[in-house]
Amino acid sequence: MTTAQKNNLKFVDFCAGIGAGRLGLQNLGLNCVGFSEIDKYAERTYREFFGEEEKNHGDLMKINPDDLPDFDLMIAGFPCQSFSVIGQRKGMNDHRGQIIYGLIKIMNAKNLPYFILENVKGLVNHEGGKTLKIILEELDKAGYKVYHRVLNSLDYGVPQMRERIYFVGIRKDLVNGNNFEWPKSVFPPDVQDYLVDNGEMEFNEKKRAYETFLKYLDNKYNKGLFKIEKLLKDNYLVLDTRQSDLRLYRNKVPTLRTGRHGVLYVRNGKFRRLSGFESLLLQGFPKNMGEKTKGKIADVYLLSQAGNAMTVSTIEAVGKSLLNYTNHYE
């Protein structure tokens, strides 16, 4: 995507994972000036994508904000941890174990103008909605006008069903008369363009797990409902074996997860396992970046890392909406 900027906005990539949020913002012309990630395997993949230059600031709960460079925007896919001391809050010091409070500490210390945060959809109803209420209250007290909405990656440029809650924050003194508008959905692309790995991912009777798959098709939820021969005739049919009942999808892939990688698909009359490379594509990484991992990052790690990542194209769409609001995009 070609963009023009009125200002060279800088951002830091917190809870960075493998850098999907970073890539989404870089696609808009923003400049990453650092990142924070504690998982050494995710960091290895991150550096395959972005190089060795930036400093990893490590555990954000231990970061001294004075050690961070100046920046304009925070991007973070923060974990949803249990807010178990509701009603007993006595300020930030009571919650140093909660990632959101670590992020707010950095926002306040750096007088940060903007942020984009992402979390699982389950946060909406976590502890009966109390967790979300607390997060919004704390961000409001920190001085931010906050917009939040559940978005599906399927509507923003990839054929993956992935609902996540997004928060966009604007420091209150920067709020203007514009209306913040969430990005409009686009028609999903063809899944065939994403299921393209030609590696050794064929899944058949030569694989030890194939017998388990046949038993799975014969369990009480699936027995008599599916015939192998018929399934194999449906080119690019996607099969999700991660639940007790088999679920089938056409022209889309179910939500990628950190664990339980039981997604198969049909190509040219054969079952294939979804690969790590394909998982990266389904999260919006371009093929040339995915190629950097081949022969370097084991598939089991890539599948987990992609399952834990943000979706590049969704962050790009949300970021563009924020820049439109702030008049930093034209």
pLDDT, one tens digit per residue, over 254-284 is: 999 988 789 999 999 999 999 999 999 999 9
Give percent above pLDDT 70 in the chain: 92
Assess whether 140 and 221 both reside in one domain: no
CB 118 within 8 A of CB 74: no
Mean pLDDT of the chain: 90
Assess whether 168 and 247 both reside in one domain: no
32 assigned to active site: no
Q: Residue 250: which H helix or E strand, with range?
A: strand 247-250
Assess whether 182 and 200 both reside in one domain: no
Residue of 38, 61, 80, 231 marked active site:
80
Assess whether 166 and 57 both reside in one domain: yes
With respect to residue 46, please indicate whether it lies within any of the assigned structural domains: yes
- What band does 177 get if pLDDT is binned at 50, 70 and 90? confident
Q: How far apart are CA 77 and CA 49, in angstroms?
A: 18
Of the CA atoms within 13 Å of residue 180, those in its CB half-sphere come to 21
Assess whether 115 and 254 both reside in one domain: no
CATH for 316: 3.40.50.150
Q: Residue 100: which H helix or E strand, with range?
A: helix 99-110
Q: How far apart are CA 105 and CA 102, in angstroms?
A: 5
With respect to residue 202, please indicate whether it lies within any of the assigned structural domains: yes
pLDDT tens digits, residue range 225-234? Answer: 999 999 999 9
Assess whether 119 and 261 both reside in one domain: no
Domain that holds residue 67: 10-186+310-326
With respect to residue 5, please indicate whether it lies within any of the assigned structural domains: no
With respect to residue 35, please indicate whether it lies within any of the assigned structural domains: yes
CB 165 within 8 A of CB 121: yes
Assess whether 181 and 235 both reside in one domain: no
Q: What is the mean pLDDT of residues 39-45?
A: 96
With respect to residue 78, please indicate whether it lies within any of the assigned structural domains: yes
List b or e across 141-156, with b for residues whose CB sees 16 or more CB atoms inside 10 angstroms: ebbbebbbeebbbbbb
Asked whether the whole model's pTM tops 0.85, one would answer: yes
Total number of domains in the chain: 2
Residue 96 has pLDDT above 50, yes or no: no
**Tokens standing for 233?**
């005739």
pLDDT tens digits, residue range 97-113? Answer: 488 999 999 999 999 99
Q: What's the pLDDT at 192?
A: 97
pLDDT tens digits, residue range 54-72? Answer: 899 999 999 999 999 999 9
- Out of 143-147, 208-212, 221-225, which region has the weakest mean confidence (pLDDT)? 208-212
With respect to residue 1, please indicate whether it lies within any of the assigned structural domains: no
CB 84 within 8 A of CB 63: no
The torsion of the CA quartet 241, 243, 245, 249, rounded to 10 degrees, works out to -50
With respect to residue 259, please indicate whether it lies within any of the assigned structural domains: yes
Q: What's the pLDDT at 219?
A: 97
Assess whether 143 and 162 both reside in one domain: yes
- What band does 89 get if pLDDT is binned at 50, 70 and 90? very low
